[in-house]
Amino acid sequence: MNKLQFVFLNRAEGPKTEYQAIVFCPKDSQEVAPIGRFANAQFVHTNEISTSVLVQLAKWGHAAPENGGYDKIDFLVQWENGHSYGGRFDLQRGGADRGQTFWVNLKNNLGLFSLLRRPVYMTDSQWEDFCERISRYDTGRSAAAILNDCELPTCDVPTECAS
């Protein structure tokens, strides 16, 4: 399994004092040049990337909106083999997205885009339409390759994670 190489996080909404982009990377790695929304990122060298990501999101989650709102977190995860996956995590109070930690959410999204996981709310026709749209692009193959070839933490809370 290919190990996590970098996890870029950028709080795009929330308190302006917390807008600093952060890059979590292994202790022995060289820093990469962040681009776009991750420019000027603070590097955090750690051998516990998976835990550090959850701890950071929990920290930011204390200032997320109450009563069902969320703040946008941009992210990019990259593995040693060059595979990467990026998107947006909707940070709710406490550090989760609809009750899912970052890693559970990531794995569920990869399952969805690799067409291995059908959401319970999708009707047969919605699922067929979704599968047809995804199969037109390389998204499904990329998501399946990450699920098959790359390390994905399985923890639900920071204390359960270990890299």
pLDDT on residue 42: 87
Assess whether pLDDT exceeds 60 at residue 41: yes
Question: Whole domain around residue 142: which residue ranges?
Answer: 4-160
Please tell me whether residue 96 adopts helix, strand or coil conformation.
coil
CA end-to-end span of the chain, whole Å? 12
Query: How far is 91 from 158, CA to CA, in rounded Å?
Result: 16
Q: Over range 100-118, report the average pLDDT.
A: 94
Residue 109: alpha-carbon gap to chain centroid: 9
Could you tell me the pLDDT band of residue 163, with boundaries at 50, 70 and 90?
A: very low
Measured distance CA(70)–CA(92) in Å, rounded: 5
The confidence score (pLDDT) of residue 104 equals 93
Q: How many domains does the chain have?
A: 1
- Rounded Cα–Cα distance for residues 125 and 114 (Å): 18
Read off the pLDDT band of 15 (50, 70, 90).
Answer: confident
Q: Is the pTM of this model over 0.85?
A: yes
